[in-house]
Amino acid sequence: MIFILGHREHNKQIAADLFTFAQDAGLMRSDTDPQIIELAVEVGDRVFQLAFEHNLRGDQRIIAEGIEVVTGYLERYATPAGNTGISRPTQDDPA
């Protein structure tokens, strides 16, 4: 059980960091509850557990379906900028 508790704490920290990033970047509505992101992280974690359970290369169908599930869920809480995404700096752009 200690592994599970430690794993859950790790996921909570990942969710908190993602929540802060999304809020600071204006990607998520300001009224979004942090538990929304925590649930998305937990679902994503489980998707990867299932995808890599029997194959070290991962089951691509499970991964693709999991991306659809988590993306569809998070889009409900995204701002317009969150739905269109943020641009990556190019080599010509200063970082």
Q: What is the pTM of this model?
A: 0.81
Q: What proportion of the chain, given as a percentage, has pLDDT over 70? A: 89
Stronger pLDDT, 88 or 32, i.e. the higher one = 32
Distance from chain centroid for Cα 82 = 13
Contact 63, 11 (CB under 8 A): no
The 10s digit of each residue's pLDDT in 8-46 is 889 999 999 999 999 999 999 999 999 999 999 999 999
What pLDDT sits at residue 64? 97
Tokens linked to 6: 């430690």
Question: Taking a C-beta distance cutoff of 8 angstroms, is the pair 24, 81 a contact?
Answer: no
